[in-house]
Structure 1
């Protein structure tokens, strides 16, 4: 090869060397592109697997959550019914000898009956979902674990809590946790990795408000590599978009389940798209809603 090159003119040698170099560069470029495609495919597979894992965890939690609620509420209902029987027996023996005491017992019977009816209604509502449970379910104390899982999956979570937290009924606490879990899962599914979700709990004398806002729309623009001006142009919206977001009736299995969980405990559920930004989920649990079960309520009102 060297002897052949020595017999060639300098321009010819340069041309051949350039050709070899270009061929080598082409091969290296092809190898790099191939590796990049494989890396992107691996990333997509990992994201898909991670979303599948989260979906399975959510599905398992959903499957294993309902019977736990039924079991807890059933225990309370059985106690209330037992108390009803005891009070009824007391009223039977005092109605002739002490009418005033019997009147107080009957009033207590009415109150216990209301509580029992409320608990049984919840048992029937949850039981109709037809799912079962095999383990104790998480509550708001598990929110940090939920945030960790979602952060590992690609969400950026900012948490804020205001007001003085009060004790919740177990079923209501589980419902709130599942709503939070569903809202974060939707943010990851529709917004993608890099989406920022702002979670806030507001505890007041009037009740509890849960708010989950995400910037999934802007997150997509950020993943596209746009600068600040480019993101603003890409996420621009009109008044019509804003009006549509305020009036649109959003549907979906996840939103329906969150709404049903909220309504089970007297909550008011709202979900809407925020044009140019992302998505917002809001649930308000009023303290004085009849039979809402979020915390101790005077059912005689």
Structure 2
């Protein structure tokens, strides 16, 4: 009598489960690889998008700076022409006065030429300047606008202020405006910004400190313990803040504006407190006219 081999049902089940497990494992590995590839593609696309946005913002800022300096130069040239016409009529009746007027016109002409040279420099190097805006005389109006938006601004000034040419005054105003706008943007309503102008015999130091980190922590904290945790920092945070390199379209524009007039720009985080911006112009009294600009080209 012939024997018939009988396959035990659990053996068939184990084989099926093994095959299904292998198939599921393979599908999972394929899905994981696809997910990683998609995540890499998204991150690469995001980096490209950010780079393009930063580049566009910087280019827009550069074009804006060119427009500002150009407007300043055009206004200076218009005044120059008006004064030249007056000197021409004065020469007929009072030659000595006309000579003094002509000497002043030469100096004003050099300042105007310096502003035009700056426009050419920015255009060639891809640097920036914006539409004509108020100077330091409108700083208090700027403080009022910022206060209305929720930024508490305090201002102090020391030293003897000296006259600034329109181009230099406009650059300093724009640095101040950008720093306060950044304080409000990152710190939010309730942030305090302390602005100080320190005039020396030959220069100016502009300093803007804010407590944006503390202001944000105060808004978002549910208790004093939570607030303390949000504003806590270590010596490593201090060291990192000293060595960090802050970038961005707004920071780049402020740095370029300062450099146009011989200034040194710095910006950085104050751990547990907020942010600090400084622009030091060691020889602004001499550098805000024609000094430092090649007039021979």
| Same fold, TM-score > 0.5, yes or no | yes
Task: Give the equivalent residue in structure 1 for 2:287.
Answer: 292
The alpha-carbon deviation at position 258 of structure 1 amounts to 0.4
The alpha-carbon deviation at position 179 of structure 1 amounts to 0.3
Task: Give the equivalent residue in structure 1 for 2:230.
Answer: 234
Whole-Å separation in 2 of the counterparts to 1:201 and 1:256: 21
1:126-275 superposed matches below 5 A: 126-127=122-123, 133=131, 136-226=132-222, 230-275=226-271
Whole-Å separation in 1 of the counterparts to 2:110 and 2:226: 59
Whole-Å separation in 2 of the counterparts to 1:141 and 1:267: 21
8 A contact 1:67–1:127 mirrored in 2: no
Instruction: Deviation per CA, 1:97-143: give whole Å up to 9, x if none.
Output: xxxxxxxxxxxxxx99987874443121345558774xx52000111
* RMSD, aligned α-carbons: 3.6
8 A contact 2:198–2:204 mirrored in 1: yes
The alignment status of 1:283 with 2:274, answered yes or no, reads no
Whole-Å separation in 2 of the counterparts to 1:239 and 1:202: 30
The alpha-carbon deviation at position 284 of structure 1 amounts to 0.3
Task: Give the equivalent residue in structure 2 for 1:53.
Answer: none
Q: SS where residue 146 of structure 2 aligns?
A: helix
Task: Give the equivalent residue in structure 1 for 2:73.
Answer: 73
Whole-Å separation in 2 of the counterparts to 1:210 and 1:143: 13
Q: 1:220 to 1:286 in 2, by over 3 A?
A: same
Gaps of 5+ in 1: 1-59, 84-110
Instruction: Deviation per CA, 1:185-230: give whole Å up to 9, x if none.
Output: 1001111111000000001114100000000000011112455554
Q: 1:267 to 1:239 in 2, by over 3 A?
A: same
TM-score between the two structures when normalised by the length of structure 2: 0.60
8 A contact 2:175–2:257 mirrored in 1: yes
Higher relative contact order (CA 8 A, sep 6+): 2
TM-score between the two structures when normalised by the length of structure 1: 0.59
Q: SS where residue 272 of structure 1 aligns?
A: strand
